[in-house]
Amino acid sequence: MTQIDIQEILDIIKDDLSWFQPKNSPEKLQGGLLNYVWRVNGEPKPIIIKYFPPYIATVPEVFLDDRRMLIEARALQAFQTGGIFSTLNTNKIRPPQIYYADEVRKFLVMEDVADKNSLKVNYNWVLADSSGQEAGKLIGNFIGNLHDLSFSRTDLAEGFENFSIQKTRLDLQYRAIAPLLKDEEIEDYQILGDKVSQLGEKYLQKGKNVIMGDLWPTSIIPVADGLRIIDWELAHYGYPAQDLAHFAAHLWMKRERAQTKDEAEELDRMLDSFLDSYVCALGSHRQDILNSQEIIDCSLHFAAEILVRTIGNFKAGYLYDGLAFNSSPIQKAVRTAVNHLRFPDNVTTFSSLVS
């Protein structure tokens, strides 16, 4: 198992970050799933150090290509001043700034955009002061502009090639669906599972535009003046559905687990605002980006994400953790997912994306 000495990192970066003066020892943050992350308090402001091991940090026996660090570095650099995506940054929404990248030792140093000692961010930030609708608008506009700006850019396809990560997702998520549905005694489990496996295989190929790749509320950090989007290591040149349906699936699950009617309704408004703002941001490329197959793929990925989070490998530590498989919330989630798999072009979840 690869290890890294955080003090060694500080020694490596001290010359390149001569403007930064550490005040105390690095603080290892809790809540990260894939990587090891530290906050270093100092002047003029704290920094984040993120190390990318060649495995999943919380499941060390599972290999995960550490070249994902290069993808995150490339994405963050693209948003820096003068970068290809720099025009998408606003005070209200942007990724963190990158300060240093070590391609050999696989770590990044970046802006600290959070004010907590944990990487876990309460989903309820989207509900503060009824801000869910505004947050949805910000995120939808940002992702729509990203997809639009990078559409059909073959020069970006090579730089954001992330085959190994997509292969891992195929193995851990898309190919897991048929066995999960079989365990749930879904009669057409193989047909439905094949649909999702074929989607995962499609996602191994070069797609249409740059995809953030891990768009869920945990990757969106609230700050005083807006939002910051972190964790770009799963970015790739892929298909819009993987961003759109991923975010939609997590908002749906949170809505289903909401404690009050007001929370549920605010999450519904957030999803509606996200999808509507996304469409508005696409401009002249809308018809090419959101063709009928893309809408179908949204339904398939939406279903796959719900299933792995409710009855699959990624249930632990999440919204449905601790619930019995025959419990009402999980059975509703399974029914919803199966409906999206059986009738992907006849559900209303993504109807606002249709011209």
Domain termination site, one of 86, 120, 154: 120
Provide the percentage of residues in the chain whose pLDDT is more than 90: 82
User: What is the pLDDT of the chain when averaged over all its residues?
Assistant: 92
Cα 56 to Cα 6, 19, 35, 106, 193, distances in angstroms: 18, 33, 7, 14, 25
- Average pLDDT (65-91) is 97
pLDDT tens, position by position, 195-235:
999 999 999 999 999 999 999 988 999 888 889 999 999 99
Residue 313 and residue 179 in one domain: yes
- Average pLDDT (300-326) is 96
Residue 54 and residue 156 in one domain: no
Residue 2 sits in a domain whose CATH number is: 3.30.200.20
Provide the percentage of residues in the chain whose pLDDT is more than 70: 94
pLDDT at 276: 97
What is the DSSP-derived secondary structure letter of residue 118?
B
pLDDT at 119: 47
Residue 300 sits in a domain whose CATH number is: 3.90.1200.10
Residue 62 and residue 45 in one domain: yes
pLDDT at 127: 47
Residue 202 and residue 308 in one domain: yes
Residue 172 and residue 251 in one domain: yes
The yes-or-no verdict on residue 142 having pLDDT over 60 is yes
Q: How many domains does the chain have?
A: 2
Element at 125 (helix H, strand E): none
Residue 5 to residue 132: CA distance in whole angstroms:
40
Extract the tokens encoding 299. Answer: 């339904």
Domain termination site, one of 120, 138, 173: 120
Confidence of residue 3 (pLDDT cuts 50, 70, 90): low
Residue 128 and residue 252 in one domain: yes
Residue type, 255: R
Specify the range with the lowest mean pLDDT, choosing from 77-86, 106-115, 285-294, 328-337.
106-115
Residue 242 to residue 263: CA distance in whole angstroms:
25
Residue 172 and residue 257 in one domain: yes
Report the sign of the C-alpha dihedral through residues 309, 252, 222, 107, in that order. Answer: positive
Residue 290 and residue 155 in one domain: yes
The yes-or-no verdict on residue 312 having pLDDT over 70 is yes
pLDDT at 131: 77
Residue 110 and residue 145 in one domain: no
Question: Among residues 171, 195, 227, which one has the least CA distance to residue 298?
Answer: 195
Quote the domain boundaries for residue 279. 122-355
pLDDT at 33: 85
pLDDT tens, position by position, 93-138:
999 999 999 999 999 999 999 865 544 444 455 544 447 899 999 9
Instruction: Using the structure block, give the residue that is written with the tokens 């292969």.
Output: 167
In this predicted model, which residue has the larger pLDDT, 271 or 123? Answer: 271
Residue 148 and residue 226 in one domain: yes
pTM higher than 0.85, yes or no? yes
pLDDT tens, position by position, 25-63:
899 988 778 999 999 999 999 999 999 999 999 889 989
Residue 25 to residue 41: CA distance in whole angstroms:
8
Residue 160 and residue 305 in one domain: yes
List residues bridging with 50 in a β-sheet. 37, 108
